[in-house]
Each structure stands twice: as structure tokens, then as C-alpha cells.
Amino acid sequence: MRSQIVSTCTGRLFSKGDGQDMTMECKSLMIQGTASHVGKSILVAAFCRILKQDGYDVVPFKSQNMALNSFITRDGGEMGRAQVVQAEAAGLAPDVDMNPILIKPNTDIGAQIIIHGKVYKNMSASRYHGFKGRAIEFVRDSFTRLTKRYNFIIIEGAGSPAEINLRENDIANMGMAEIADCPVVIVGDIDKGGVFASLVGTIELLEKGERERVKGFIINKFRGDVSLLTTGIDFLEKKTGIPVLGVIPYFRDIYIQEEDGVAMDRLVSVRSDGRINVAVLYLPHISNFTDFDPLEREPGINLKYVGYGESLGEVEMVIIPGSKNTIDDLNYLYNSGYVKDILIHYKRGGTVVGICGGYQMLGEYIDDPDHVETSLGRMNGMGLLHVRTTIEKEKMTSQVQAKVFQSNRFFKDSHELRGYEIHMGRTESQRGDYMFEIVNREGSPVSVPDGCISGDGRVWGTYIHGIFDNDGFRQEFIRRISPAKDLPVASGEVSEGAGAFNYQEFKETQYDKLAAIVRKHIDMDAFYRIAGLR
């Protein structure tokens, strides 16, 4: 018989098959790394799914996240996409308390600061560093609220705890571990090389009290025979007195959404294999590129990201993604020759799609009278859509439900469409040729036209992020392109049809696969002991 464990934080029951009745207060553990991009986000997602599978009421948390990939919660709050992925792995609806501070860079030295889901103000890096003494209270408030609702909080660090120039008023790494009074596990990326030096060096640069919090190491992204690491692991454990909890192999066959940028191994070439070739322009300030993950996973699609100096190639579709600095990125497209390439692509019969900032670029012009994003003021767009955009000071952030606009003769999908808006511009159609109608914002019925579609149906844009997450619409869109190019569509009928690709179900299977591989290669008994759950 499975025992019932009662959380003193929530008073709710959950099951854990350890053979004893227990009362458990809310506990936490923090995953830190030797550097950025060592795999902290993915491992936190893995542990969220493992703990959920094992019956724990687990929630992810990252006090401070710097990313241009963001998401809008049900109540209109903006948060980092990595914590959305982790929330999904834990079976939870995203909540801004999981990521109380989001930093969205808009220049090389400045960023928009978002606190508890709302824009706080723009700050330079130096000004924000001084602001962290106050920001710690926002972090503490969110963490405290989570302790009252969940049994276990798994915390993700940011960058490295050994950045001694950032130690003062730290809220991202050891400063957060002190707030939570929790143990720390440090992750190193062996694929980059120098993992043992990175782990030892990180420990050496920590203060005594910080070192005492570190209870384990994880070596990530290993290729080859793990027995070859034995001498190195023995040295590491003797040198630091800290055990290695496991070695995670490098894997390519598990799909988890990226947080901060598009991995270079996804910048693939155009293929002549019968699939539809799609080029996504990798803008200097690209944001919310996860919009295109469902397309990338469709069997009938070959999607590539096109970086500076690379050719679009012979593709059927070009996508212009969202941008944190739309006018500057439009300027980049002009200067790099991509605007000319897009216009040639369209004249040859190709399809062009713009999402959010990309939608704005497809219009007649973008005007920034208050210099919210740039000092350039106004810039002519590509003129492929009859719309005009004005950048405004207030940001629109909301979850929406929508449908294909009634006069849209090119798309007839009758499914309810879901997505979210994040934009600081107002775009007006000059001809009323709208793409969608928003019928609900944050739970309230509305009737608001969105987006625009060209007279021939080959160019369209929208403010709705996540539009391709909608299986029925995505597959109808693919079928519209494939007959024109005499290409097969491997995804089958609409989402409820046999053989169709269901994106949400696909993501769930990927979280389970991720959990399985981490379970296999981590000493989970040691992990649970460190976490205080055994």
C-alpha cells in the first residue's frame, strides 16, 4: 500500500511508495553550472518530470533569466520560455512566480527588465547590477509563495556561481541558494572540453560557506565509453570531496525546446528529398523562435535557420520571426541583401510568413516616434502587406483564442486557435484583408482583427505567437503549400485524423524520454538523499 505524504506547505496529499508515513515540509535543491549552456535548463526539466512521475508536487524556479524567448501566462504575465518547458515537464500551468525576473536584452549593454510578468523599466547592465539589492525582495516574494503551494522546488542557476565580479547582491546562484537554504548540484559540460578544470575551478572560487552547499556534480554531454572517465572522476572526487552523481550522454534524439538561441546543428542545408523547404531568418535580435518548433517536427517539413551571409536557397517558404528590436533587424535585412532575396522569392511564387516583428516588417512602414526600440525613427517595410505599424510605449501581453477571419478565403480551418501576444506596436490594415479574428483575451470575449493576408494568399503575418502549435491550422497550411509545389505532405489529415502529428502529445513523450535517460545515468538514490526526500 502506497503511503500518503502530507505537505505542510500546501496541506495536499500525494503518494510516494517508500513504505512509511511522513509529514514533509517544502524542500528545494538548486542546479548550478560551470558556465552558460552546460545543460542546466534541460536537467531541471528532467528532474521536474522524474519527481512528478515519482509522486512529488514539484515546481521549477529561476530567480533571474536572461532570454529573448518568452511566454505569456493565463493572467497576461511574461516569463522565460525555459521555465515554461520545465513547468510542462512538471505538469503545471506556467506562472510568473517560477521566473520572477526576466531580462530581455535590446542593445549590447542594455535590456528591458520584467518583474513578476510586467515591464519594470529599461536598464543598462551597470544600473541593473546596482538594482539587484532591491530585486532580491521580488525574488524572495515569489519563492515564498511557491513554498506555500508545492512540496518541492527545483531551482535553476544562471551562468556560473564563480563569476566573482557579480557576487555582490547575487540573486541568481549562491545568493539564491542562501535564500532557499538548499543544497546545490553543479553541472559541467564535457563536450566543450576541460570539464574537470571547470568543476574544480568553480569550487576553488567559491567561498567556504558556498562550497559547503555543493553536494554533487553532474557531468553532461559525454560522447563515448564512460569507463574512460574513471580516473578523472576519482581525481575530482578526491580533490573536492564532492561525489559525481552521474554522467549524462550526449543525445540528439530527444527534443526539448531551446531557451536562448538556435543550436548550430539546426542550421541545416536545403534538401531535395521531397519535403517542403522552409527558411527562417536568424535575426540579430531574434525572439520566440520556438514558434517554429512544431513546423520543424513535421515529417513533411525541412526547416533551416539562415544566418548572416548564408543563402536562402531554393525554398518554398521564408519565415521572418519575432524581434526584440524590429527596426534595427529590418535594417539588417536591407543591408545584408535579404529583403531583395525575399522579394525575388515571392515573385517566383514562394510563400512568405511574418510573426510579430516579422509581420511588421512585411508592411509599408514601421514608425517609432518615441524611439522606444531604436533611434532610427521610421523605416520602410518590404511592402508585401498593406499594413502600417506604429511602435508604442505600452506592451501588449495576453493569451488569446482566435479563428480564421470570416473573409479570409484562403484558410478555412474551423478549429479554435490558441496562442499569445507580446508586442509593443499597433498595426493597421489599409484594406481590411485580415488573417485572423481574436475572439478571447485572457478569458474575456472580444472581436479584434489580427494580422493580414495578401490578395494571392502567399504572404501573411500575425501577432499571434504559437500559431503553429495548433495542429489543424498548421497542417492545413502545409497542405496549401504542397499542392502548389507538387510535394507530399507526410503529416496526414488534420490533427484528429489518423496518422496526424500531434505536437502536444509529441512533447509529452519527449519529456518522458528525457526523464528515462537521466534516471538511467544518475544515482537517483543519492539525488533524493541530497534533496532531503529520502
**Structural element, H or E, at residue 397:** strand 387-404
- Find cell 559525481 and name the residue: 244
Cα–Cα distance for residue pair 217/229, rounded to 1 Å: 14
Cα–Cα distance for residue pair 12/15, rounded to 1 Å: 10
Nearest CA to 103 out of 79, 134, 77, 87 is that of 79
Contact 103, 65 (CB under 8 A): yes
Radius of gyration (C-alpha) of the chain in whole angstroms: 24
Cα–Cα distance for residue pair 342/202, rounded to 1 Å: 47
- Residue 13 sits at φ, ψ, to 5 deg, of -95, 145
Per-residue DSSP letter, 404 = E
Cell numbers representing residue 284 in the block:
540579430
Task: List the catalytic residue out of 356, 423, 452, 521.
Answer: 356
Cα–Cα distance for residue pair 184/205, rounded to 1 Å: 15
Task: List the catalytic residue out of 285, 345, 423, 465.
Answer: 465
Sign (positive/negative) of CA torsion 272, 275, 277, 282? negative
4 bridge partner residues: 15
Q: Any catalytic annotation for residue 452?
A: no
**Strand ranges of the sheet holding 184-189, from the earlier edge strand across to the other edge:** 58-61, 152-156, 27-33, 184-189, 214-222, 244-249
Q: Any catalytic annotation for residue 285?
A: no
Cα–Cα distance for residue pair 198/170, rounded to 1 Å: 20
13 bridge partner residues: 6
Q: Which residues of 405-414 are buried (b: 16+ CB within 10 A; e: fewer)?
A: beebebbebe
- Residue 145 sits at φ, ψ, to 5 deg, of -65, -40
Largest Cα–Cα separation, the chain:
72
The set of catalytic residues is 356, 465
